[in-house]
Amino acid sequence: MRITTFRHAGGTGWGLVEGDGIVDLSGDPSLPYADASEALRSETVMDLALSACGLAPQHRLAEVTLLAPLPAPRRVLVVIDGQITELDQPEVARAGTAMPGGSRMLAVVIGSPTREVARERAVEHLLGATDAVLGGRRLTLGPWVVSRDETGDLDALHDAGRGLADIVSEASRRWSLSSGDVVLVPAC
C-alpha cells in the first residue's frame, strides 16, 4: 500500500497509489478525514486498504501534484548521532522541495499506537516508510508512504548505527507513539 496526499484540479485529496494512478479516498464518506495524517491518527489503515480494494484510480499520477504524504504529523522524532530527540513542529514540505544543505533521511511511520513496547515487538507498530530530507526546522516527505509489507528490510535502508526495533522501543519509553508519528533516521 502506498499512501499519498495530492493536489488536482478539484482541490487537495489523499488516497492510495495504484500503478500509475491514485484511488482518491478523500471523497469516501466512511473516511471523513482532511488528509492522510488525520486518517492515520484515527487508526484506519486497514479501512484505507479495504476501501480502495478493487477500485479503479480516479486520477493519473501525471495529472496531479504530489504533496507531503503526511502533511501534519503530530510528532516527529529524529535520530542524530545515536540520540533520539523530538522536533518542535517542523514545517513539512512536499517531496522535491529544494532543501540546500539538508540531510537525507528515512522517515519511518508509526502505524499503531504504542507505549513502552519491547524491542521484540517494536517493528509490529510500524506502518512503513518514505523518503525525507531534513534541513533545520524544514522537512520534506514523500512522495508517498510505502507500507512495511512492500518495503522489505527497513534496516537495510538507513544508517542509524542500530536497528529500528531498538530505536522504536527506546522512543516508546520516552514518548507515547501514535499512528502517523514519524521517526527520522539517517538514510544510506
Question: Of the ranges 50-54, 97-101, 153-157, 183-187, which one carries the lowest mean pLDDT score?
Answer: 50-54
Cell of 29: 464518506
Looking at 54-132, list the stretches that DSSP marks H as alpha helix, in order from N- to C-terminal side. 119-122
Q: According to the model, what pLDDT value does residue 49 have?
A: 67
What is the rounded average pLDDT of the residues 89-107? 91
- pLDDT over 80 (residue 185): yes
User: Residue 49: what residue type?
Assistant: A
Rg (CA), the chain: 16
Residue 69 — very low, low, confident or very high, per pLDDT cuts 50/70/90? very high
Residue 89 — very low, low, confident or very high, per pLDDT cuts 50/70/90? confident
Q: Where are the beta strands (DSSP E) in 38-144?
A: 59-60, 65-66, 76-80, 83-87, 91-94, 103-110, 126-135, 138-141
Cell of 58: 480516479
- pLDDT over 90 (residue 145): yes
Cβ-Cβ contacts under 8 Å for 31 (sequence gap 6 or more): 25, 39, 44, 47, 48, 51
Round to whole Å and give the CA distance between 101 and 120: 36
- pLDDT over 80 (residue 50): no
- pLDDT more than 70, % of the chain: 94
- pLDDT over 70 (residue 119): yes
- pLDDT over 90 (residue 41): no
Per-residue pLDDT of 149-158, as tens digits, reads: 898 888 888 8
